[in-house]
Amino acid sequence: MAHPMIAPSILSADFARLADEASAVEGSEWLHVDVMDAHFVPNLTLGLPVVQSLLAATDIPLDCHLMIDDPGRWAPGYAEAGAYNVTIHAEATDDPRAVARDIRAAGAKAGLSVKPGTPIEPYLEILKDFDTLLVMSVEPGFGGQKFIPDVLGKAKAVRRLVDSGELTLVVEIDGGINADTIEAAAEAGVDCFVAGSAVYGADDPAHAVRALREAAAAVSPHLTLAH
């Protein structure tokens, strides 16, 4: 039985106090870092220098979600810096496998993300070369959007392949995850839940993380709380 993973997204944190915002969610499995380039998505956030500072400021493994064009050029740098998982978008490159190889060679886990409208079937074969599948449940670019339940079919399809042993992957979901939506995602077979506004918009972010983890474990057929 796997343990539900919660990855608070610092997109909803105070960027002037990132070290404190990371300590506020101590005990989270991953800290989700949204890198946006104002080209692949219509928003601009942060890049490698901020990730390097954050790596020095927290022990939580960093989950870098690169919403950028030309990930082959930039992704290995995040791995070299010490990010635990580096996820690229399937829509941003013609050769996701080559990028995964470079990320792994630079010492990180490699993730593949798909936007809500991108089907998973064309990528099932290459998922063997990845460690994480990040299913977007909102259009990438902004926090605080509404969860799109249609994407859960992709999580279910990949969960089946993981359960049957054909793939070894963390199934992660990102966008609109909160107390109302996490159960449906957990039932669909998600292992790792990104939550931005639901964690950093709460009075007690650490409590919000625990509550989300418990809610996921309570309904999931494949997740349980570690004791």
Pairing of the two strands 5-8 and 31-36: unpaired
Single residue of 111, 176, 189, 205 touching ligand DX5 by CB under 6 A: 176
Tokens found for residue 135 = 């299913």
CB 159, CB 172: distance < 8 Å: no
Q: Is 143 a binder of ligand DX5 (CB under 6 A)?
A: yes
Give the chain's largest Cα–Cα span.
45
From the CB of 204, what's the least distance to ligand DX5, in Å?
17
Query: What's the rounded Cα separation, in Å, for the pair 15 and 19?
Result: 9
Q: Is 188 a binder of ligand DX5 (CB under 6 A)?
A: no
From the CB of 165, what's the least distance to ligand DX5, in Å?
30
Q: Closest CB to ligand DX5 among 89 and 159?
A: 89
**104: CB partners within 8 A, 6+ apart:** 79, 110, 131
CB 194, CB 9: distance < 8 Å: yes
Q: Is 174 a catalytic residue?
A: yes
Single residue of 65, 89, 115, 213 touching Zn ion by CB under 5 A: 65
Query: What's the rounded Cα separation, in Å, for the pair 210 and 226?
Result: 12
Choose the stretch contacting Zn ion; rule: CB under 5 A; options: 26-34, 35-43, 97-105, 185-193. 26-34
Binding-site ranges for Zn ion (CB under 5 A): 34, 65, 174
Residues annotated as catalytic are: 34, 174
Binding-site ranges for ligand DX5 (CB under 6 A): 9, 11-12, 32, 34, 65, 138, 140-145, 174-177, 194-198
